Amino acid sequence: MARAVTPRRKAVNTALAWAVGLLIFFPILWTILTSFKTEATAIADPPVWLFFDWTLENYAVVQERSDYSRFLWNSIIIAGGSTLLGLIIAIPAAWSMAFVPSRFTKDILLWMLSTKMLPAVGVLYPIYLIFIQFGLLDTRIGLTVVIMFINLPIIVWMLYTYFKEIPGEILEAARMDGATLREEILYVLTPMAIPGIASTVLLNVILAWNEAFWTLNLTAAKAAPLTAFIASYSSPEGLFYAKLSAASTMAIAPILILGWFSQKQLVRGLTFGAVK
Amino acid sequence: MATQHSRTAARLMLAPAVILLLGWMLVPLTMTLLFSFKQYLPMRGGDLGWVGFDNYIRFVGSSAFWPSVVTTLVIVGSVLVITIVLGVLLALLLDQPMWGQGVVRILVIAPFFVMPTVSALVWKNMFMDPVNGLFAHLWKFFGATPISWLSEASMTSIIMIVSWQWLPFATLILLTAIQSLDSEQLEAAEMDGAPPLSRFGHIILPHLGRAIAIVVLIQTIFLLGVFAEIFVTTQGSFGTRTLTYLIFQRVLESQNVGLGSAGGVYAIILANILAIFLMRIVGKNLDR
């Protein structure tokens, strides 16, 4: 039941919340606005807010000079590939623990979670060495595998908590009605599992897309995804705010959109099901 | 009821994930452990033999060690306090009835989806730059001398950037927790004449206890590993060298793998102590 409030109080809440929300969002908004300015307008003092000659020039320049689409493609392959690979390994595991639990299930789950807490820097050199040995340095496949491993515990956990919510009685009922195992999986389980799998994919793509420790340390020119591409702007020449903004906007736009769809799942995924 | 057959199948389905994760954990960990007892300089002679605990003693004894521990603790502690205090306030605000709640929520959560290199560079250049940054314009507007943020107030700057990234996470989880609060209990307290502050202190805050604990632990684990934000801004100078960054420099920049690995082992031990507490909370939840 909603608590009754006076319109006045609601108006105050609204004004306050919008002010705070816009303040927090402001750096992103400012980046998007700046990406449509010329370099000269971008550093104008006092700052120009909305009334300037909007231009798409920066986007063209970023693509032309630094081959933006290649980095974008690397990001897509690495985020998508690591998610797909993770799912292939995690779905059977989560399925097995959710539907045929043993007395070790809880320990296995907690142990998986503990691997997530291994500080990356603690194993940086071994991974680096292994990458050199196997010629994986600056390759997409190497990075895809590493990021898959980083996120695998989260994928297993999320899937586990979703599968756990599928009532076993429904499966039994289907079996009673004479469904074969194939039919049971195809027509009963899969439709119920799809929302959970979709949320898991969403969160994992976001995490993989934004991962910045391994991408910065294990890639150079060839396999660098957008996180590493943007880092190359840390030592720029000349005026570059508008171009930095354009590159940044392109790098974050896909994930901002995905992220807004996945707010609820985000809580669940990042707290390992402890907060839902 | 699971049959023997389906149990075997289930074990087989679980095996790949367990074996792969075990390898991912054990192989690099063993290597780090081995290196940490060696004089190992890839660029200057390679593996120069066993040195016992020398690296461990030298890592702690170096003049960079304690400052890096302090820097790490200050960053983690400040970001935690800022994100949780502001997070609770924001969650309370967002829980109130208002127009456009969904949109405000989206605005507040957005920074979490911005990749670390982008947020660090945007803050560094477009806000904190002493000549062209927005803060410089603002300072000049009020007649003050613009601050060279990343060198004069380096820690404040890093803390601001990282807090901005993590505030959405804290807010979102605390908001989820507040929304699960039984509103009848609050109404009853309100009708009994409990003032807002004591309703907050006696009902809301205790209810948030577990969520706050989870936010603290998860953020601590991620914050101990903050890397990109420092990598693209100060590169560890001006007193912003964290333990993670120090180890990174030892291993990859000065290529002293033995020393860096000893540092890595310290970091792993530290993370594990924290992890135990997190597991307790999460584990309890599994039993329900």
The answer to whether the Cβ–Cβ distance between A126 and B113 falls below 8 Å is: no
Give Cβ neighbours of residue A271 (< 8 Å, ≥ 6 apart).
Answer: B173, B214, B218
Structural domain count, chain B:
1
Question: Would you call the peptide bond into A46 cis, given omega within 30 degrees of 0 as the criterion?
Answer: yes
> Looking at chain B, how many residues does it have?
288
Q: What is the mean pLDDT of residues A170-186?
A: 80
The whole-angstrom separation of Cα B15 and Cα A89 is 9
**pLDDT > 70? residue A276:** no
Assigned domain for A35 exists: no
Closest chain A residue by Cα to residue B274: A117
The whole-angstrom separation of Cα B177 and Cα B209 is 10
Assigned domain for A2 exists: no
| Residue burial A175-185, b: 16+ Cβ < 10 Å; e: rest | eeeebeeeebe
Q: Which pLDDT does position A238 carry in this prediction?
A: 66
Interface of A with B in 157-176 (CB under 8 A): none
A78-87, A171-180, B193-202 — which one is most confidently predicted on average? A78-87
The strand pairing partners of B38, in sequence order, are: B50
Please report, for chain B, how many H helices and E strands are present, in that order.
Answer: 14, 2
Work out the number of other CB atoms within 10 angstroms of the CB of residue A24: 21
Best residue in A26, A125, A232 for a mutation probing chain B (most B CBs within 10 Å):
A125
Lowest mean pLDDT among A16-30, A165-179, A191-205: A165-179
Q: Which of A2, A20, A106 sits opposite B97 (nearest CB)?
A: A2
**pLDDT > 80? residue A168:** no
The answer to whether the Cβ–Cβ distance between B24 and A149 falls below 8 Å is: yes
Contact B159, B82 (CB under 8 A): yes
Strands B38-41, B46-50: pairing kind: antiparallel
Work out the number of other CB atoms within 10 angstroms of the CB of residue A257: 10
Residues of B in contact with A252 (CB under 8 A): 113-115, 118
Which domain covers residue A94, as residue numbers?
Answer: 66-232
Contact A205, A79 (CB under 8 A): yes
B115: CATH: 1.10.3720.10
Best residue in B33, B93, B115 for a mutation probing chain A (most A CBs within 10 Å):
B115
Q: Which of A45, A100, A234 sits opposite B10 (nearest CB)?
A: A100
Assigned domain for A43 exists: no
Contact B136, B220 (CB under 8 A): no
Gyration radius of chain B over CA positions: 24
The answer to whether the Cβ–Cβ distance between B112 and A244 falls below 8 Å is: no
The whole-angstrom separation of Cα B175 and Cα B167 is 12
Lowest mean pLDDT among A9-23, A215-229, A230-244, A260-274: A260-274
The answer to whether the Cβ–Cβ distance between B109 and A1 falls below 8 Å is: no
Q: Residue B239 carries which side chain, given as an amino acid letter?
A: G
Q: Residue A75 carries which side chain, given as an amino acid letter?
A: S
Interface of A with B in 70-109 (CB under 8 A): 89-90, 92-93, 95-97, 99-100, 102, 106, 108-109
> Hey, is B49 helix, strand or coil?
strand
Structural domain count, chain A:
1
Q: Which of A124, A267, A275 sits opposite B252 (nearest CB)?
A: A124
The answer to whether the Cβ–Cβ distance between A47 and B137 falls below 8 Å is: yes
Which domain covers residue B183, as residue numbers?
Answer: 65-240
Q: Which of B121, B172, B183 sits opposite A234 (nearest CB)?
A: B121
A73: CATH: 1.10.3720.10
Q: What is the mean pLDDT of residues A50-61?
A: 88
Assigned domain for A36 exists: no
A222 touches chain B (CB under 8 A): no
A213 touches chain B (CB under 8 A): yes
Residues of A in contact with B31 (CB under 8 A): 123, 125-126, 129
Residues of A in contact with B257 (CB under 8 A): 125
> For residue A251, which of A216, A203, A213, A206 has the smallest C-alpha distance?
A206
Assigned domain for B263 exists: no
Lowest mean pLDDT among A167-171, A219-223, B128-132: A167-171
Assigned domain for B176 exists: yes
Residues of A in contact with B211 (CB under 8 A): 275
Assigned domain for B96 exists: yes
CA distance B120 to chain A (A): 9
Contact A268, A157 (CB under 8 A): no
B259 or A66: which leads in pLDDT: B259
CA distance B162 to chain A (A): 13
Assigned domain for B270 exists: no
Q: Residue A144 carries which side chain, given as an amino acid letter?
A: T
Assigned domain for A61 exists: no
A20 touches chain B (CB under 8 A): yes
Backbone angles phi, psi at B63, to 5 degrees: -65, -15
Closest chain A residue by Cα to residue B247: A121
Assigned domain for B9 exists: no
Q: Which pLDDT does position A1 carry in this prediction?
A: 40
CA distance B154 to chain A (A): 16
Look up the pTM and report it: 0.89
The whole-angstrom separation of Cα B134 and Cα A34 is 12
Q: SS3 string of chain A?
A: CCCCCCHHHHHHHHHHHHHHHHHHHHHHHHHHHHCCCCHHHHCCCCCCCCCCCCCCHHHHHHHHHHCHHHHHHHHHHHHHHHHHHHHHHHHHHHHHHHHCCCCCHHHHHHHHHHHHCCCHHHHHHHHHHHHHHCCCCCCHHHHHHHHHHHHHHHHHHHHHHHHHCCCHHHHHHHHHCCCCHHHHHHHHHHHHHHHHHHHHHHHHHHHHHHCCHHHHHHCCCCCCCHHHHHHHHHCCCCCCHHHHHHHHHHHHHHHHHHHHHCHHHHHHHHCCCCCC
| Cα–Cα separations (whole angstroms), residue B263 to B123, B231, B237, B248 | 30, 18, 19, 9
CA distance B22 to chain A (A): 9
Assigned domain for B135 exists: yes
Q: Which of A22, A24, A129 sits opposite B167 (nearest CB)?
A: A24
Q: What is the mean pLDDT of residues A248-262?
A: 88
Q: Which pLDDT does position A236 carry in this prediction?
A: 67
pLDDT averaged over 10-residue windows placed end to end, chain B, 288 residues? 72 92 94 93 85 92 92 94 96 90 90 93 92 90 90 94 95 89 80 84 84 86 90 90 93 90 92 82 70
Check residue B48 and report its DSSP letter.
E
The answer to whether the Cβ–Cβ distance between A18 and B169 falls below 8 Å is: no
Percent of chain A with pLDDT over 90: 43
